[in-house]
Amino acid sequence: MSRLITYISTYGNKCTNEKGGIPIEVGAEGRTNFLYTILDNTGENISAENKYYGDLTALYWIWKNHKFRGDEYIAFRHYNKYLKIKPKVALEYLENHKDGWIVAKSHSNPPHTYIHEWEIFRDIIKNDYPLYYSALLDIYDYRDGSGMKCNGTNMFITSAEQFEKYCDTIFEICKKLREAIGDTDVPKYNQRYCAFMAERFLTIYLEAHKYCKYETKVYRKRWYLGILSKYARRLGINKNNQIVRRLVKILSKNSYRSSYYD
């Protein structure tokens, strides 16, 4: 019987809607504030590269350390966001589309902050992966990496077989990126150039192979919802108060303009 295994990357934060998921502490090589037992610096890993790979160090850990069965499907998500689809629906779709993927709904993405990083990524694809180059040109602006149909967030659900194939490719590309760009002295958020390029690459990968994809919205936990709840309690306002419920609904409305990473 097929089963869906969900891994959740976290940076010492409590996972939203955990429900049987398996949290992985990301960037564990440089941290001590752990809430969960699985660390990405165990087994075969690239945890020390977390500042350049972001959540991809958890993805790498899964790829190298989880022993997949042929009937397994894998979901990869983050501690504060996940794809809005019921597990039963996800399994039904993937069992009917053997090469299928479930990904975040496509959205516009801005030019990459450091153009030279995009240019290096683009040229790696052009020179070493011609299969993907035409898809890159169809999806993104050649000059700066901006586009209108990126399945971002580095979250997905797919089969074990597809997962293995994708990881073989994306981590080979990321290794070449690291060799070409090296270490950077930029703000911490912007150091994750491998993660940012991987977000763009997933859409390229699916388009080039003509894989079926089911696009769905992303649930995102907003930091300000906790503050709203806290002050509502202090004021003695019930969380079911009509005004509070309306404000939460407005603030919770999904937006792809916010950062993919917290």
CATH code for the domain in which residue 214 is found: 3.90.550
CA-CA distances (angstroms) from residue 248 to 20, 81, 228, 244, 259? 26, 16, 8, 6, 19
Cα–Cα dist 109/242, whole Å: 35
Residue 258 maps to a domain: no
Q: Using the 8-state DSSP alphabet, how is residue 32 labeled?
A: -
Whole-prediction pTM: 0.86
Return the pLDDT at 167.
98
Count CB-CB contacts under 10 A for residue 251: 12
Q: Where in the sequence is the domain holding 46, given as residue range(s)?
A: 3-107+152-220
pLDDT digits (tens, 9 = 90+) for 11-64: 999 999 999 999 999 999 989 999 999 999 999 999 999 999 999 999 999 999
Cα–Cα dist 146/244, whole Å: 37
> Domain check: are 170 and 241 in the same one?
no
Return the pLDDT at 254.
43
> Domain check: are 156 and 248 in the same one?
no
Q: What angle do CA 95, 101, 107 make, to 5 degrees?
A: 145
Residue 135 maps to a domain: no
HEC letters along 9-29: EECCCCCCCCCCCEEEECCHH
Residue 125 maps to a domain: no
Q: How many domains does the chain have?
A: 2
> Domain check: are 176 and 247 in the same one?
no
What pLDDT band is residue 70 in, cutting at 50, 70 and 90? confident
Count CB-CB contacts under 10 A for residue 127: 10
